[in-house]
Amino acid sequence: MQSNTAAVPLNVRTADGETMQRAPNVWDRLLKNSRSLTAIAILFFMLLLALAAGTLAPYDFAEQLRGREHLTPSSGHFFGTDVLGRDILSRVMYGARVSLMIGLSATVLSLVIGVTLGLCAGYFGGRIDDVIMRFTDTISAFPTLLLAVAITALYKPSPSDGADVLVLNASFWKVFIALGVVGWTSIARVVRAQVLTIKTLDYVTAARALGGDSIRIMFLHVLPNCWSPIIVLATLSIGGNILGEAGLSFLGLGIKDPFPSWGGMLSDSKSYFKDHWWLAVFPGMAIVLTVLSFNLLGDGLRDALDPKARK
């Protein structure tokens, strides 16, 4: 780990024409890490697939090709076709949209809840801290996926569901809310721990002495200094949410057919994958590759943001 992220000073030419060395910043350190670089490249590729699925995908995600059911991977269908004759490659590409959108949006929701609660708990302390932390303990006491299952199961499907667009349809919102409202606890704990240290620093005392109100101090003075661990945790939790979406879809609570999501495609393949391996392997590998990339990027960011911890 140390060798491939070594902090190499960079040459900078000054106005006088002198060459000086500047200390490497976070980006320099991140891009020097080969694993992070690979992860960024894979994620960029996945993002491209998701955004350009409409143009790049050989078929529409719902197009059923009569007489071409269960075709093995070939030059006509690189990833084969499913039980209804739909092209798996196209569905994996469109599925990237759903999985990435859910991963990112649920993480943003968790961040909003976790950062706000962690900030309040750490900054105000006392009773507020006790109440928030006991609530956090309670939510963490449930296995995340199961609580998400229970929240998702609350939702009653209506006949108009699924007649919507690919993302942002009813089943998307249900998964987004379920994952977002259960995944904030570790973020709140980390933010609280950071705030407990930062709020005792002189500049925060000075801001308070100058008459700054609590909300302003919390968000303008304390929060900017907590970002490093939050960014790392958020990156890791995008991967976690993609796994969560896959799990919910696998249990039949996620994105509904005909809309493709990687977990949903695995769920659809449950009865057939023993004879038709490609139905499960390609969407499954897409999940693994994407989650692995987010995990590697999270680790790389941790090293880049906190070189002391790396050593």
Binding status of residue 309 toward other proteins by CB under 8 A? no
* Tokens 């240290």 found at: 197
Among 154, 165, 209, 210, binds other proteins (CB under 8 A): 154
Selection from 23, 19, 20 nearest residue 9 by Cα: 23
Among 150, 201, 220, 309, binds other proteins (CB under 8 A): 150
Number of residues in contact with other proteins under rule CB under 8 A? 42
The CA-to-CA distance between both ends of the chain, in Å, stands at: 10
Binding status of residue 147 toward other proteins by CB under 8 A? yes
- Quick check: bond before 258 cis, omega within 30? yes
* Tokens 């304390």 found at: 222
Distance of alpha carbon 271 from alpha carbon 30, whole angstroms: 43
Among 263, 300, 303, 304, binds other proteins (CB under 8 A): 263
Among 118, 122, 229, 247, binds other proteins (CB under 8 A): 247
Least CB distance from residue 252 to other proteins, whole Å? 6
The alpha carbon of 176 is separated from its chain's Cα centroid by a whole number of angstroms, namely 11
Specify the residue, 156 or 308, whose C-beta has the smaller distance to other proteins. 156
* Cβ-based neighbour number of residue 221 at 10 Å: 18
Binding status of residue 138 toward other proteins by CB under 8 A? yes
- For residue 36, give every residue at least 6 positions away whose Cβ sits within 8 Å of its Cβ, in sequence order, or none: 30, 296, 297, 299, 300, 301, 304
Selection from 44, 81, 92 nearest residue 261 by Cα: 92
Selection from 252, 290, 288 nearest residue 96 by Cα: 290
Q: DSSP class of residue 229?
A: H
Binding status of residue 215 toward other proteins by CB under 8 A? no
Among 66, 127, 156, 308, binds other proteins (CB under 8 A): 156
Among 243, 255, 297, 301, binds other proteins (CB under 8 A): 243
Distance of alpha carbon 157 from alpha carbon 159, whole angstroms: 7
Among 102, 149, 232, 304, binds other proteins (CB under 8 A): 149
Among 287, 297, 301, 304, binds other proteins (CB under 8 A): 287
Among 70, 85, 295, 307, binds other proteins (CB under 8 A): 295
Render the burial of 9-27: b for 16+ CB within 10 Å, e for the rest. eeeeeeeeeeeeeeebeee
Binding status of residue 277 toward other proteins by CB under 8 A? yes
Binding status of residue 291 toward other proteins by CB under 8 A? yes
Specify the residue, 98 or 217, whose C-beta has the smaller distance to other proteins. 98
Distance of alpha carbon 89 from alpha carbon 86, whole angstroms: 9
Interacting residue ranges for other proteins, rule: CB under 8 A = 134-135, 137-139, 141-147, 149-151, 153-154, 156, 239, 243, 246-247, 250-253, 263, 266, 269-270, 273-274, 277, 280-281, 284, 287-288, 291-292, 295-296
